[in-house]
Structure 1
Amino acid sequence: MKISSLFDAGNIEVVSLDRYDDIQLKIRKDNGSDFAQWFYFRLQGAAYQPCTLKLLNAHECAYPDGWQDYQAVASYDRTNWFRVPTRYEDGVLVIEHTPLAGSVYYAYFEPYSHEQHLNLIGQAQGSGLCQVSDLGSTLDGRDLNLLTIGHEVESDLKVWIIARQHPGETMAEWFVEGLLSRLLDPQDATARALLDHATFYIVPNMNPDGSVRGHLRTNAVGTNLNREWQSPSLEKSPEVYYVREKMKETGVDLFLDIHGDETIPYVFLAGNDGIPSFDERLAELQERFRQQLLLASPDFQTEFGYTPDQFGDANMTLATAWVGHTFNCLAFTLEMPFKDNANLPDDDFGWNGQRSLRLGEAMLTPIYGVLGRLR
């Protein structure tokens, strides 16, 4: 029996492999920080053996409440992922599974690899509708790419979408894949209508270093990028620095920051009620966008989510708050669950990559629904 994680986004530490029914493991922290929750590893040599895998330090992770009612994902081919029986007891996350092959992978959520990321960029460019540009390099020397889709004329509305500031939230890049597949479809009437009036600026992965390193929430040096927007630096958060500079160059009329939430088993939007520039216009736009998304996707709901900030109480280091206030524009954080979506549960797959992708496709509808009111 063997456990390994020395691959793209891999994360685990082996404590004991003496028995199939008592495999003891620990989740490794993000480099330079105390954040931990993402895991991804391979088990070999346990075919047809009832295995009990124990993540001993689950109680020390960033969001221990997130383990309640959570089910880990598994795959034999790293393409088809399914949920496996998981429970959280006495501070330990326990996965019970009998592998039906000699090699099986387990992860916190369906991964989105760096190779998939590069393929996504290549496919987008190959559409003939998308320009790929390099905003700069990350601290590990990886490319931070921007996809620009549209005519880039001054009269165009500027729609900015970023994903995976927190690298373990892989559902965010699955979402972008779905959004791009529809936006770049010349037969899709909504996409064509949008591109007649708007230019899209999309960063599919804000944190490629953390993604490859198997981090939950931070970049190569342990910086939480979604707390850097007020004053980013090239030393700690070049990813945010470069994106901010490009935003200042283009302007922003609509901004979406795509995330996953460890604890709340719903899809929801967090708005900008607390920013100093919030007014009746933005309040009306927020409500219109939410109502349009409700019609576009039954996976979305408005009952559960974060408590809105009081006026003037927004944390201006967050992307949505900084962008919304700086450009006086409609700005949202979209959250998807690591667990299942309690509105439309699926016992086999829970919330997964494909459902995230479909939500990305659906997002074009509310964008179109507010487009004429953004300025």
Structure 2
Amino acid sequence: LMVTPTGYTGVSRKSHLVFDACFESGNLGRVDCISEFEFDLFIRPDTCNPRFRVWFNFTVENVQETQRVIFNIVNFSKTKSLYRDGMSPVVKSTSRPKWQRLPAKNVYYYRCPDHRRNYVMSFAFCFDREDDVYQFAYCYPYTYTRLQHYLDSLERRNLDYLQREQLGLSVQQRRLDLLTITSPEKQKKLVVLTARVHPGESPASFICQGVIDFLVSQHPVAVILRDHVIFKIVPMLNPDGVYLGNYRCSLMGFDLNRHWQEPSPWVHPTLHAVKQLIVQLSQDAVSPNLQPASKICITHFIQ
């Protein structure tokens, strides 16, 4: 989407910004040009659920060196936000591929009278390299594809205390992965860990990956844990929502964290598969690898 100043009818030129969010975990619904320097950006709601508008992830190109802009994210669905407490969006570019946070002094989160007193997050930015494509996001993205690459690399290590299996498929036929981490000894406690039931809470994936990296390491504590505990880890409960760039919902517009009671195998297949696993583990009192009297500890890394 190329955005030109209001009333401009000539040939497009440098500084007429081109916005794009048609990529994995991308989200940007609309851009309004307020002036040559200011743009109102509208978040696309979660698929099939207009209530949630928080996650954004988009690119900007066709910039001019030293071009200064103000981007206003104008349609947040939440009033409470970490932006009120000093968090700032992240940015990277083709020549600087490492994500970094925008300076907090350039980010403002406030009630805006021009947008029915909704909360707006505005940030100022100066483009410094004309050939770069810049990418801005709500927080550090962690995509479904990134997870698959990570799990593939783990699997190639052929660790005898790590097993990867496909627990099920999402509505759009993406993998629901299950990792089992434990050493061969018997009579153990059981811990179930899950992450990314809410797609926009990407820090959960970084935490989960850190936990996995530690548990498969040769750290003395990790070795002891593997000797005494069976870890069942589901790294991404909502792969469709993550892929689509949603904030809270699945493909069909459901907040999966509100449907544990009676998940549908058709509407909530990933949730249904995980609940079936937990129920089976709870009932499996005669398993040779599980202490009959042990309780299952379940942890969600949802933020």
Change (3 A) 1:152 1:164: farther
> Of residues 54, 62, 65 in structure 2, which corresponds to 1:45?
62
Name 1:283's counterpart in structure 2.
Answer: none
Partner of 2:174: 142
Q: Aligned-pair distance for 1:92?
A: 2.0
Q: Distance in 2 between matches of 1:330 and 1:234?
A: 24
Q: Is the 8 A contact 1:50 1:98 kept in 2?
A: yes
Partners in 2 of 1:153 and 1:234 — Cα distance? 34
- SS of residue matched to 2:227: helix
CA apart distance, 1:66: 4.1
The separation in 1 between residues aligned to 2:90 and 2:19, in whole angstroms, is 16
Corresponding residue for residue 144 of structure 2: 114
Q: Structure 2 matches for 1:1-375, cutoff 5 A?
A: 1-17=17-33, 19-33=35-49, 34-46=51-63, 47-58=65-76, 61-69=77-85, 70-77=87-94, 79-84=97-102, 85-89=106-110, 90=112, 91-101=119-129, 102-129=132-159, 130-151=162-183, 155-185=187-217, 187-251=218-282, 329-333=296-300, 336=303
Q: Which moved more, 1:224-233 or 1:18-27?
A: 18-27
**CA shift at 1:192, angstroms?**
0.7
Q: Tell me the SS of whatever aligns to 2:37.
A: helix
CA–CA distance in 2 between the matches of 1:157 and 1:20? 62
Contact map agreement 1:158 1:251 (CA 8 A) in 2: no
Sort the Cα spacing of 1:152 and 1:202 in 2 relative to 1 into closer, same or farther, 3 A.
farther
Measure the CA separation in 2 of the matches of 1:230 and 1:153: 34
State whether residues 195 and 301 of structure 2, in contact with CA within 8 Å, keep that contact through their aligned partners in structure 1: no
Larger helix percent: 1
Q: Distance in 1 between matches of 2:147 and 2:204?
A: 12
- In the alignment, is the contact (CA less than 8 A) between 1:20 and 1:52 conserved in 2? no
Unaligned runs of 5+ in 2: 1-16, 113-118, 284-293
2:193 alignment partner AA: I
- Quick one: which amino acid aligns to residue 114 of structure 1? Y
Matches of 2:128 and 2:213, distance apart in 1:
34
Give, as a single letter, the amino acid of the residue that structure 2 aligns with 1:50.
R
Aligned to 2:98, what secondary structure does the other structure show?
Answer: coil
**Normalised by the size of structure 1, how large is the TM-score?**
0.65
Structure 1: which 5+ residue stretches go unaligned?
253-326, 337-375
Deviation (angstroms), 1:209: 0.2
Structure 2: distance between partners of 1:247 and 1:88: 41
CA RMSD of aligned residues (A): 2.1
Query: CA 1:42 to 1:53, structure 2 compared with 1: closer, same or farther past 3 Å?
Result: same
- Contact kept in structure 2, 1:20 and 1:49, CA below 8 Å: no
Q: Distance in 2 between matches of 1:150 and 1:57?
A: 46
Identity of aligned residues (%): 27
User: Within 1, Cα distance between the matches of 2:297 and 2:190?
Assistant: 11
User: TM-score of the superposition, structure 2-length normalised?
Assistant: 0.79
AA of the residue aligned to 1:49: Q
The separation in 1 between residues aligned to 2:143 and 2:302, in whole angstroms, is 20
Structure with the bigger percentage of strand: 2
Contact map agreement 1:124 1:180 (CA 8 A) in 2 = no
Q: What SS does structure 1 have at the residue aligned with 2:201?
A: coil
Q: Distance in 1 between matches of 2:185 and 2:267?
A: 33
Letter in 2 for 1:93: M
* Closer/same/farther in 2, CA of residues 194 and 166 from structure 1, 3 Å limit: same
Contact 2:196 2:302 (C-alpha < 8 Å) held by counterparts: no
Aligned-residue offset at 1:151: 4.0
Q: Matched residues in 2 for 1:334 and 1:204: separation?
A: 9
Tell me how far 1:150 sits from its aligned partner: 1.4
